[in-house]
């Protein structure tokens, strides 16, 4: 199916779209200054006491505990899985995280370790992080990851195609990956740090959702800037618009650069006041992070005991 | 799914716990006298009035009600200090202004809490807007004090003398800064009359001046009501009058000053158009609309109280706006998460109610954000009127509250015509992604400030003031200095 007809059937475009309205007619534009001002404003919400503890526990539940290194080994992944299932061995009331996120070769060890704990296995795929490989290889990569037992596939979009204006290609590629992974959950990484403008972030968000993404994700974590609050706001506004138009609820995952509880809670405030409290669940919002979890565990303990404990009391995995 | 698993996926019911700014940082005294000639004195009138918090109706302090005799003493004190102050080396004047700016920054939390208590505005606004801008005005004008000849090449700037200044209740300390900073930088002395409902930060400012060791009599503060202001305007020994407030009072002042040769600047009401074209970045435009009219409860003379939206996107914009309204948090001004605070006074609340009733009666469609208002104090929910005709009172009169009137247009020419079709002309906003259209509109809008893809942005370097019944004279920038100088050789 060619791009124009695919997009005109896609759920981001209203069925009764006028023939002369531009394709992806409601992409609209984003004003950078005002977007950043709004994000900065939301970052000033002051979350205290019980609402803070509630938020911190939610952040744990929303975490995709991540290791994406060339040096990853089954041993390293096993340690991470142990942490994922029981983040704070001292306080068993702290819930497990949502998923561990690994490279495809680490799916099997992760799967074995996590068993029936309910913690999911997410795998990056499609030539992560650059995506600069022939399409058949990228699609095969995603298919293999699904077959190896990944519950969730984090694919990267072809930024080269996107930035040269070949949106149709990007769309078709996502559709092919969607088909290749069967019932697995699809997260589409836009790599916003390479897109250059918020207009592009919005366009890529709508494109990915139209092509069948379950989640849209900011970054690979390999490029700076990664997840910033204005980018999250921009993507959430696109998610909200799709929801209001079609009823579809698409998830969102900021990844890379979120290291503190404060940043995570700021993101929750943006979620709460942009798409609404319906998105305050791990089914619709995730944090892709590695060092964030320990800071959150420290803050939870502080909230419960009133004192800050040394970082030495929290495991490094 | 097991219970545990279900729990793991559940969405949370998240309410922000209250996060009040501590008010222990402010200790109001029971009583504040007048500040004249560097002394705090009881009013000759023998009268006092109470200033209260509009959010709770809790009395905060008793304040002197200055009569004509008190005003006379204040003007005499300013006159007495003028010679020394105006002959001071300009670089020395500069130092005093720098010192005041620094002290405002150091005491900003205390002053922000006081401002929110006395005026009802959310702490996040007094903390992030009023106080930083007030300090910025003193810093900015400190820089000009010894460079006035460079501001006006080939002219010889001289101070005017005693500047009488009357300020409103919507931005008490900020309006004080807008008035006092340029007056002092130019070598004038000041008699300042703060608004009746919000006198406390001006009285605390007197303490800032004392801390800065500003010479006695350079800044004098007379608190009181409309009569006090009237006495100040009538005083024969003032050399300049600066007023910010309603158009009605502005006109009365102008009549009073007719033929007296007292230079004056008036910054009066407004009914600004916020114009949204169909190619605008709509989500950000909605933020701009919200900021334009609900910032400071709409108690802003340059508030974007008329939304002109292009018909092709009107439904979308109104839907987005209504949705956004439901996230506005109305309540305790001292709560750091409050977006919209209390209406400043009972009188103002009555006026808002009266105009909103007229809008309903004339046939406009009312929408109010679903929010619980506190039991005590003066409150009004964020309000939007759609189906508003240009002829309705809510489209013509300044409401000075959180009430927006939405109208539509079809072409740029129509937008311009409707925007200019008002007795006022203080500000306007244009939202479009098209640069050439911004310039086309800005050249033709009869308003002192035109914001493009933003709203309610202020900077001491940028002159602010009105066209038509929004007044004359400019505050801020080089233009603002001119209002406190004479050039007659």
Task: Identify all chain B residues contacting A197, using CB atoms and an 8 Å cutoff.
Answer: none
Q: Which of A29, A268, A278 sits opposite B281 (nearest CB)?
A: A29
- The structural domains of chain A, with segments of one domain joined by +, span 48-307
> What is the fold of A48-307?
TIM Barrel (3.20.20)
d(CA A196, CA B108): 38
Return the H-helix or E-strand segment holding B61: strand B59-64
* Options A141, A217, A241, A295, the catalytic residue: A217
The residues, any chain, with a CB within 8 Å of residue B383's CB and separated by 6 or more, are B356, B366, B367, B368, B369, B402, B403, B404
Number of neighbouring beta carbons within 10 Å of residue B433: 17
The reply to whether omega before B154 is within 30° of 0 (cis) is: no
User: pLDDT class for B8, splitting at 50, 70, 90?
Assistant: confident
| B451 CB-side CA count, 13 A | 27
Whether A277 sits inside 8 A of B288 (CB atoms) is no
Q: Name every chain A residue with its beta carbon within 8 A of the beta carbon of B320.
A: none
Residues B14, A33: C-beta atoms closer than 8 Å? no
Expressed in percent and rounded to 5, the helix, strand and coil fractions of chain A are 50, 10, 40
According to the model, what pLDDT value does residue A8 have? Answer: 45
Please work out, in degrees rounded to the nearest 5, the angle formed at the alpha carbon of residue B349 by the alpha carbons of B346 and B351: 110
- The rounded average pLDDT for each run of 10 residues, N- to C-terminus, in chain A (317 residues) is 49 48 65 97 96 97 97 97 96 96 98 96 97 97 98 98 94 96 97 97 95 97 95 97 92 97 98 97 97 97 92 89
Give how far B283 is from chain A: nearest CA, Å: 8
Report CB contact under 8 Å: A272, B284: no
Is the alpha carbon torsion for A57, A61, A67, A73 positive or negative?
positive
Which pLDDT band, with edges at 50, 70 and 90, does B2 fall under? low
- Most A CBs within 10 Å: which of B12, B112, B277, B337, as the mutation test of the A interface? B12
State the DSSP code for B367. Answer: E
Q: Are A63 and A97 in contact (CB under 8 A)?
A: yes
Q: Specify the 3-state DSSP secondary structure of A261.
A: helix
Give the nearest partner residue to A33 out of B8, B18, B454, using CB atoms: B454
In B, what residues contact A, Cβ < 8 A? 4-5, 7-19, 124, 128, 279-285, 287-288, 319, 327, 336-337, 433, 453-454
Which residue has tokens 């942005």? B457
Q: How far apart are the first and last CA of chain B?
A: 89
Name the residue among A13, A240, A278 with its Cα closest to residue B323: A240
Domains and CATH numbers, chain B: 31-268+469-486 (3.40.605.10), 273-459 (3.40.309.10)
Interface test with A, best of B3, B4, B8 (most A CBs within 10 A): B8
Q: What is the pLDDT of residue A26?
A: 66
pLDDT single digits (tens) B280-305: 999 999 999 999 999 999 999 999 99
In order of A57, B7, B444, the CA distances from A96 in angstroms are 9, 11, 61
Q: How confident is the model at residue B161 (pLDDT cuts 50, 70, 90)?
A: very high
Cross-chain CB nearest to A277 (options B5, B14, B18): B14
Q: Which residues of A touch B453 (CB under 8 A)?
A: 31, 33-34
CA-only gyration radius of chain A, Å: 19
Cβ(A59)–Cβ(A254) under 8 Å? Answer: no
Closest CB to A34: pick one of B18, B279, B287.
Answer: B287
Active site residue A217: yes
Q: Which residue among A154, A158, A214, A241 is the active-site one? A: A154
Task: Say how many residues make up chain A.
Answer: 317
What residues of chain A lie within 8 A of the CB of B17, using their CB?
Answer: 47-52
Q: Chain A: give the shortest CA distance to residue B411, in Å.
A: 18
Q: Is the pLDDT of residue B230 over 90?
A: yes
A235 to chain B: nearest residue by CA?
B283
A83 is catalytic: no
Phi-psi category of residue A286: left, alpha or beta, with phi > 0 → left and psi -120 to 50 → alpha = beta
| Residue in A277, A278, A283 closest to B9 by CB | A283
Q: Among positive and negative, which fits the CA dihedral B126, B131, B134, B137?
A: negative
Which among A29, A25, A110, A94 is positioned nearest to A60, based on CA atoms?
A94
Mean pLDDT of chain B: 96
Strand order across the B162-166 sheet: B39-41, B34-36, B219-221, B189-193, B162-166, B240-244, B264-267, B471-472
What contacts 24+ positions apart, CB below 8 Å, involve B432-440?
A: B432/B277, B432/B279, B432/B280, B433/A29, B433/A31, B433/B279, B433/B280, B433/B281, B434/B277, B434/B279, B437/B277, B437/B412, B440/B412
Instruction: State how far residue B324 is from chain A, nearest Cα, in angstroms.
Output: 8
Please tell me which residue in B196, B301, B398, B469 is annotated as part of the active site. Answer: B301
> Which residue of chain A is at minimal alpha-carbon distance from B3?
A118
Mutate which: A18, A29, A58, vs B, most B CBs within 10 A:
A29
Tell me the per-residue pLDDT of A198-233, one tens digit each, with 9 for 90 and over: 999 999 999 999 999 999 999 999 999 999 999 999
Q: What predicted TM-score, i.e. pTM, was given to this entire model?
A: 0.93
pLDDT in tens, B351-388: 999 999 999 999 999 999 888 999 999 999 999 999 99
Label residue B387 left, alpha or beta by phi (over 0 means left) and psi (-120 to 50 means alpha).
Answer: left
Residues 6+ apart with CB under 8 A from B378: B54, B55, B120, B342, B343, B344, B345, B346, B348, B349
More confident residue, B488 or B82: B82
Chain A environment of B285 (Cβ under 8 Å): 31, 34
B241-B247-B253-B257 Cα dihedral, nearest 10 degrees: 80
Q: Which of B9, B15, B284 sits opposite A35 (nearest CB)?
A: B284
Q: How far is the alpha carbon of A43 from chain B, nearest alpha carbon, in Å?
A: 11
Q: What is the dihedral of CA B88, B89, B91, B93, to 10 degrees?
A: 10
Residues of A in contact with B433 (CB under 8 A): 29, 31
Q: Do A96 and B8 touch (CB under 8 A)?
A: yes
Q: What is the pLDDT of residue B489?
A: 58
Write the residue in A28, A61, A273 that is nearest to B8 by C-beta. Answer: A61
pLDDT at B488: 77
A154 is annotated as an active-site residue: yes
pLDDT-above-90 percentage for chain B? 96
Rounded to an integer, what is the distance from CA B243 to the centroid of its chain? 12
Helices (H), B120-171: 123-125, 131-144, 148-151
- SS3 of residue A251 by DSSP: strand
Whether the CB-CB separation of A114 and A98 falls below 8 Å is answered with no
């Amino acid at each position: 199916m060619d791009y124009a007809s695919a997009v005109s059937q896609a759920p981001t475009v209203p069925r009764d779209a006028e023939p002369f309205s531009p394709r992806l007619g409601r992409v609209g534009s984003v004003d950078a200054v005002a977007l950043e001002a709004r994000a900065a404003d939301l970052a000033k919400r002051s979350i205290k006491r019980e609402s803070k503890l509630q938020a911190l526990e939610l952040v744990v539940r929303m975490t995709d505990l991540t290791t994406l290194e060339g040096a990853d080994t089954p041993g390293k992944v096993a340690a991470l899985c142990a942490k994922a299932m029981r983040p704070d061995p001292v306080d068993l009331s702290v819930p497990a995280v949502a998923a561990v996120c690994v490279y495809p070769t680490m799916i099997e060890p992760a799967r074995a370790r996590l068993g029936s704990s309910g913690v999911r296995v997410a795998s990056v795929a499609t030539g992560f992080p650059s995506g600069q490989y022939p399409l058949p290889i990228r699609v095969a990569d995603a298919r293999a990851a699904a077959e190896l037992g990944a519950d969730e596939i984090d694919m990267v979009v072809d930024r080269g195609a996107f930035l040269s204006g070949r949106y149709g290609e990007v769309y078709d590629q996502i559709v092919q990956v969607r088909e290749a992974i069967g019932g697995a959950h699809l997260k589409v990484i836009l790599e916003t740090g390479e897109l250059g403008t918020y207009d592009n972030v919005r366009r890529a968000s709508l494109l990915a959702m139209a092509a069948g993404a379950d989640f849209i994700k900011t970054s690979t974590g390999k490029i700076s800037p990664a997840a910033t609050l204005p980018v999250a706001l921009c993507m959430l506004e696109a998610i909200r618009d799709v929801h209001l138009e079609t009823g579809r609820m698409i998830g969102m995952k900021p990844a890379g650069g979120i290291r503190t509880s404060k940043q995570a809670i700021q993101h929750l405030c943006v979620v709460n006041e942009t798409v609404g409290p319906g998105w305050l669940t791990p089914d619709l919002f995730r944090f892709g992070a590695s060092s964030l979890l320990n800071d959150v565990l420290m803050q939870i303990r502080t909230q419960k005991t009133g004192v800050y404990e040394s970082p030495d009391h929290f495991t490094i995995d | 799914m097991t219970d545990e698993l279900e729990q793991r996926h559940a969405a949370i019911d998240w309410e922000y716990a209250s996060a009040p700014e501590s008010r222990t940082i402010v200790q109001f005294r029971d009583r504040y006298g007048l500040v004249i000639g560097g002394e705090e004195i009881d009013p000759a009138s023998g009268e006092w009035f109470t200033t209260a918090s509009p959010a709770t109706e809790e009395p905060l302090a008793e304040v002197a009600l200055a009569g004509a005799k008190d005003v006379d003493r204040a003007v005499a004190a300013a006159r007495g200090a003028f010679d020394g102050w105006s002959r001071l080396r300009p670089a020395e004047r500069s130092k005093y202004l720098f010192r005041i700016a620094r002290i405002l920054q150091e005491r900003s939390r205390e002053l922000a809490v006081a401002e929110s208590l006395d005026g009802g505005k959310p702490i996040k606004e007094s903390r992030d807007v009023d106080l930083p801008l007030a300090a910025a005005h003193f810093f900015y004008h400190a820089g000009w004090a010894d460079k006035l000849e460079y501001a006006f090449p080939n002219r010889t700037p001289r101070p005017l003398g005693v500047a009488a200044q009357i300020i409103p209740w919507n931005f008490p300390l900020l309006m004080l800064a807008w008035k006092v900073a340029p007056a002092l930088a130019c070598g004038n002395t000041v008699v300042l009359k703060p608004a009746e409902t919000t006198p406390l930060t001006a009285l605390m400012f007197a303490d800032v001046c004392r801390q800065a060791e500003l010479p006695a009599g350079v800044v004098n503060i007379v608190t009181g009501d409309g009569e006090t202001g009237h006495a100040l305007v009538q005083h024969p020994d003032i050399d300049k009058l600066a007023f910010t407030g309603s158009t009605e009072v502005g006109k009365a002042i102008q009549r009073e000053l007719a033929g007296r040769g007292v230079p004056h600047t008036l910054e009066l009401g407004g009914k600004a158009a916020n114009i949204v074209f169909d190619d605008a970045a709509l989500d950000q435009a909605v933020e701009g609309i919200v900021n334009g009219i609900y910032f400071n409860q709409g108690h802003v003379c340059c508030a974007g109280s008329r939304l002109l939206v292009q018909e092709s996107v009107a439904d979308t914009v109104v839907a987005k706006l209504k949705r956004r309204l439901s996230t506005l948090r109305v309540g305790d001004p001292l709560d750091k998460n409050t977006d919209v605070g209390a209406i400043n006074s009972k009188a103002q609340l009555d006026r808002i109610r009266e105009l909103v009733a007229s809008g309903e009666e004339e046939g406009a469609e009312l929408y109010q954000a679903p929010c619980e208002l506190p039991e005590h104090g003066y409150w009004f929910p964020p309000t939007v009127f759609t189906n508003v005709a240009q002829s309705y009172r809510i489209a013509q009169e300044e409401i000075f509250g959180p009430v927006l009137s939405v109208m539509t247009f079809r072409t740029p020419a129509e937008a311009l015509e409707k925007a200019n079709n008002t007795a006022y002309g203080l500000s306007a906003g244009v939202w479009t992604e098209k640069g050439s259209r911004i310039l086309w509109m800005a050249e033709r809008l009869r308003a002192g400030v035109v914001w493009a893809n933003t709203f309610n942005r202020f900077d001491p370097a940028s002159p602010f003031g009105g066209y038509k019944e929004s007044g004359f004279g400019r505050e801020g920038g080089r233009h603002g200095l001119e209002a406190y100088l004479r050039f007659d050789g």
